Amino acid sequence: MSLKARIAALGAAALSMTGCDLQTNPLVVSLFGPPTPSLEEAYAGTGSGGTFDHSALDGLLSRHVHGFTVDYDGIASEQETLDSYISAVGEAPFDTLDRDEKLALLINAYNAFTIKLILDHRPIASIKDIAGSDRWDSERWTIAGQSYSLTSLEHEEIRAKFAEPRIHFAVNCASVGCPPLRVEAYVGERLEEQLADQTRVMHEDERWVRIEGTTVHLTPLYLWYKSDFEQVAGTSLAFAARSRPELATGDWTVQWMDYDWSLNEAVQGE
């Protein structure tokens, strides 16, 4: 392992073990936070009109996502359906898909893989209870014949190849602090509509955006991935203002919310 890779690995480990106060410290995040790729549209004009069937995942989500929580027991009772969908993703005709179909596939794959990860390690109180080597950095997932970890899928395939910061409101890390899973799978023909609605839902909820006087409390997603938002809108606050117009003017103080890593699991009886 190169020195650069060792430093990155140590930094990721340090960040994962810190409390919320350090995870929202801009200096710590700049040194040990996620990579900062240059956002590019790598797939514009690609594909030949192919599609991929997400109906199996769509059904699971519609039956087992309730508000901001997930009925993992319910999904576990249909694990064959989830496993079948993940197997199909492994053989997806990625090259034939156009840009929006590709992105929908990658978002759905990330979310399906994360659900599978939780099912494989239950009972747990948080995704962070899973050993690091088995969690985000395990190269156990396959898309179109290529192997990925959740880390490489997010940072190298999604972030670096699509100039679309709204993916941070769509990919789900199975935690209360994450923007919620939708009750439907993403699909290429409706992707813009779905991302716009997902962004609206998140910004209208005080779990992720809360305004008090001249202070705006933002989800730390805006800090951790600020380079993505800056490349598109100039600042994280300016990007948030696209959904909350009142933030576009005035002298705002930004404070970072704590990030709740508790499992986004539906409590029995709710």
Helix and strand counts by DSSP (H, E) for the chain: 12, 7
Tell whether 15 is covered by a domain.
Answer: no
- Please give the share of the chain, as a percent, with pLDDT higher than 90: 83
Q: What number is the average pLDDT over the span 226-232?
A: 95
**50 pLDDT above the threshold of 90:** yes
Tell whether 157 is covered by a domain.
Answer: yes
Q: Which two tokens stand for residue 233?
A: 């809108």
- 35: confidence class by pLDDT, cuts 50, 70, 90: confident
The residue whose two tokens read 């005080």 is 206
pTM of the model: 0.89
Strands (E), the chain: 65-66, 69-70, 141-143, 146-148, 209-212, 215-218, 253-256
C-alpha span between 213 and 89 (Å, rounded): 47
**244 pLDDT above the threshold of 50:** yes
- 127: confidence class by pLDDT, cuts 50, 70, 90: very high
Tell whether 260 is covered by a domain.
Answer: no
Q: Is 255 in a helix, a strand, or coil?
A: strand
pLDDT at position 192, please?
98
C-alpha span between 73 and 248 (Å, rounded): 43
C-alpha span between 232 and 179 (Å, rounded): 20
pLDDT at position 230, please?
96
Tell whether 51 is covered by a domain.
Answer: yes
pLDDT at position 102, please?
98
Q: Which two tokens stand for residue 193?
A: 């509509």
Q: What number is the average pLDDT over the span 48-53?
A: 95
Partners of 65 in beta bridges: 70
**17 pLDDT above the threshold of 70:** no
**Structural domain harbouring 195:** 36-207
Tell whether 221 is covered by a domain.
Answer: no
- Number of domains observed in the structure of the chain: 1
Give the residue ranges of DSSP H helices in 18-158.
Answer: 20-23, 26-32, 55-64, 72-76, 79-90, 99-121, 150-152
pLDDT at position 39, please?
85
236 and 216 Cβ atoms separated by less than 8 Å: no
**236 pLDDT above the threshold of 90:** yes
**2 pLDDT above the threshold of 70:** no
- Which range is least confidently modeled, 24-28, 66-70, 105-109? 24-28
**269 pLDDT above the threshold of 60:** no
pLDDT at position 132, please?
87
209 and 219 Cβ atoms separated by less than 8 Å: yes
Closest C-alpha among 29, 93, 68, 39 to residue 262:
68
Tell whether 127 is covered by a domain.
Answer: yes
pLDDT in tens, 89-100: 999 999 999 999
Tell whether 10 is covered by a domain.
Answer: no
The residue whose two tokens read 């192997």 is 147
74: amino acid identity, one letter: G
pLDDT at position 270, please?
47
pLDDT at position 6, please?
44
Tell whether 129 is covered by a domain.
Answer: yes
**70 pLDDT above the threshold of 70:** yes
C-alpha span between 39 and 36 (Å, rounded): 9
pLDDT at position 75, please?
98
pLDDT in tens, 205-228: 999 999 999 999 999 999 999 999
